Amino acid sequence: MNKLENTVFWRALRKFLRFGLVLSSILVTLITFAAVITRELNINFLGYEEILIICAFWLYMFGTAYGSYEDSHIKADVIVVMMPDGRFKSTLAMIRNTVTLVLGIVFLLWALQLFQWTIVMENKTPVWRIPMTVAQSSLLFGLTVASFYNAVYLYDEVKLYIGKYITKTIPIGSSLDDIREV
C-alpha cells in the first residue's frame, strides 16, 4: 500500500463511493418498482422518469469511480494480460495507464464544459423543474474521482517500472500488489 492509500481521505472516499452506489441502486430500484405498481393500479406517477434518470446517472458515475478505485474498470489490456512478464509488458501497461488517464482527463474537461453550460443555460426538467445541473454534475464528479484513481495507479506503475528496470531496487517478478504492500 502506498502512503496515499493509508490516509483518511482515501478510506473516506472509498466509503463515500460505496454509500453512493448503495443509495443510488436502492433509489433506482424503488422508483422503478413504484412506477410498475402505479402503472398497474392506474395511478399517475407523472415525472418519475426525471428522478429515475438523475439517480441512474449518479449510479453509473459512482460505479465508474468505484471501478477505477478497484482498478476493475474496462481496459484495453488483452495483449498485456497474455504476455509473459518482462520489460515490454511493463512498458505496455504504463502506456495503457497513460492513455486511460489522458482520455479520462479529456472526458473530465468535456464534463466540466457541459456542467458550466447547464449552469449558464439554467435548463430544468419539464415536470419537476429539477435543474439539469443535478444530473450533469454526476459526470463531473465521477470523472474527477476516476481520473484521480487512474493518476495514482499510473504513478504506482511508473514507480514499479523504475524500481524493476532502471534502479533495479525491486525484484523483476514483483507486481503492483507487491509494491503496494510495502
Give tens-digit pLDDT for 97-155: 999 999 999 999 999 999 999 999 999 999 999 999 999 999 999 999 999 999 999 99
Give the C-alpha distances (Å, rounded to integers) separating 81 from 37, 86, 103, 138, 164.
47, 12, 21, 32, 19
In this prediction, residue 127 carries a pLDDT of 94
Give tens-digit pLDDT for 75-84: 767 777 788 8
pLDDT for 61 beyond 90: yes
DSSP string, 74-104: --S-HHHHHSPSSHHHHHHHHHHHHHHHHHH
- What is the rounded CA–CA span in Å between residue 102 and residue 175? 23
What's the pTM?
A: 0.91
What's the chain's length in residues?
Answer: 182
The mean pLDDT value of the chain amounts to 92
In this prediction, residue 1 carries a pLDDT of 58
Helix (H) / strand (E) containing 147: helix 133-161
Mean pLDDT along residues 73-93? 83
Q: Contact at 8 Å (CB) between 71 and 127?
A: no
pLDDT for 182 beyond 90: no
Enumerate the β-bridge partners of residue 124.
131
The SS3 assignment for 43 reads coil
- Check residues 101 and 173 and name the one with the higher pLDDT: 101
